Amino acid sequence: MTDRPANAHAHEIRVTWGDCDPARIAYTARLPWFALDAINAWWEEHLGDGWFQMEIDRNLGTPFVRLEMGFRAPVTPRHRLICHVWPSRLGETSISFRVDGEQDGKLCFSTHTTSVFITADKFAKQKPPQEIRDLIAPYLPTAAG
């Protein structure tokens, strides 16, 4: 994918028997779960905290308002699933992520999501802390120049 930044995070998922349906491929409804796991892993990797710690320790939530997935090839337990994940846009109060799922070098699915930042205990939209904005900026595609 030409639009994937070099500093996208690669999150590895072990797909198993239990993820698969009788067609012997990962059930479609498992794939959004995998994509969200990858976004959570991006936060863990770069912020140190995943959604659990963000919500409980920082009172910062990022509920999803939009999810789009295109499915290109079946996901199976034959190879590890590599989810390439990066923030694609940072708005005033929102953040978009892209997640490309690949197996054996082949694109299986592509994901676009948008979340809003909220004060967790009020479920009220807020601008993200400057620390968070600064942390995200270098990973945005536009950061490349």
Binding site for its own copies (CB under 8 A): 14, 16-18, 20-24, 27-29, 32-33, 36-37, 40-41, 50-53, 55-56, 61, 63-72, 74, 76-78, 120, 123
The two tokens of residue 138 are 């270098």
Min dist. Cβ of residue 138 to its own copies (A): 24
The residue among 18 and 145 lying less far from its own copies, judged by its C-beta, is: 18
Cα separation, 133 vs 92, whole angstroms = 10
**Contact indicator for 71, 118 with CB cutoff of 8 Å:** no
The residue among 16 and 130 lying less far from its own copies, judged by its C-beta, is: 16
Min dist. Cβ of residue 9 to its own copies (A): 14
Min dist. Cβ of residue 37 to its own copies (A): 6
The two tokens of residue 112 are 């676009």
